[in-house]
Amino acid sequence: MKVAFLGTGLMGLPMAQRLLAAEDIQLVAYNRTPEKLAPLQAAGAEIVTHPRHAIRAAECVILMLTNASAIYNVLLSDTAWQTLEGSTIIQMGTITPTESQEIRDAVVAGGGEYLEAPVLGSISEAKAGKLSVMVGAEPEQYQRHLKLLQNFGTEPLLIGPVGSAAALKLALNQLIASLTSSFALSLAFVQRQGVDVDVFMQILRDSPLYAPTFDKKLQRMLDGNYADPNFPTKHLLKDTELFISEAKSQSLDLSSIKGVRQILQTAVKMSFADDDYSSLFSVIKEWGEAIGD
């Protein structure tokens, strides 16, 4: 089977490498920044300079692009869209349910089929093939592409039709933003109050309040070291904004997540855009001092 992989960024690269290592898959890859394709090319992947070449060459096209705008530019431009007939498109990035459904309609109009399969997890889990894969598709599509999706996670889960998996991914990323900001605020508070951080963490770990992500981000926050991110601040801000835009029509009170969005926006302004999203800890400590709140 020949698979095209479009988008080889922080998560896309290890995911594409998983396919390249599979015995029954030939990989053709495209990225808007060609330099990011070097590791795949060195490992034997076919590299193309235009997405239409990848689409034409492959039976299945996987998208791991930044946002819906990138998908439209790469997949649904006039030249690329004309090559979609007979192709299967699997969208694995984070976009809104509405955007996913609109892209599906465009793909189907071009003669292709579409399913969504966003993932939850870090770079290390992508390398190990242990991502949580959420699938929005018809049951028959899910079964037909299950073996391919198992390269990324052992148990891809069918959530429902297109849009349902995209919605679930946004709900989970809202939790990432909210949990991390809440933990950062409590951590900053106990520090200011002179409470030993080790004691704080001991009590927290033994309580129902604990989430493993707290320990994953603790040392970064204490050290102020946000380099080499698994998930950059700018991407969490993007996903938070997507959640808010999609949730507006659901009659939900969005006050809390809007506050988190403001923190993330400030982090980007403080030059943390490409750093790990745990950088919001610095915003909570330093920005709060600056405005006197």
Are the C-beta atoms of 226 and 272 separated by less than 8 Å?
yes
Q: Cβ–Cβ contacts within 10 Å for residue 219, how many?
A: 10
CB 81 within 8 A of CB 106: yes
Q: Give the pLDDT confidence score for residue 289 in this predicted structure.
A: 56
Look up the pTM and report it: 0.93
Residues with Cβ within 8 Å of 45's Cβ and at least 6 positions away in sequence, in order, are 16, 20, 27, 28, 29, 37
Q: What's the pLDDT at 103?
A: 96
Which two three-digit tokens encode residue 26?
């030939």
User: Beta strands of the chain (E only): which ranges?
Assistant: 2-6, 26-30, 46-47, 60-63, 88-91, 113-116, 119-120, 132-136, 157-160
User: So what's the pLDDT on residue 10?
Assistant: 93
Biggest alpha carbon–alpha carbon distance for the chain: 64
Give the pLDDT score at 292. Answer: 47
Which pLDDT score is estimated for 82? Answer: 81
Facing residues of 133 across strands? 119
Chunked into runs of 10 residues, the chain (293 residues) has average pLDDT values of 95 96 94 93 93 91 95 85 90 97 95 97 95 98 98 97 98 98 98 98 98 97 96 97 95 96 97 98 80 48
Q: Pairing relation of β-strands 119-120 and 132-136?
A: antiparallel
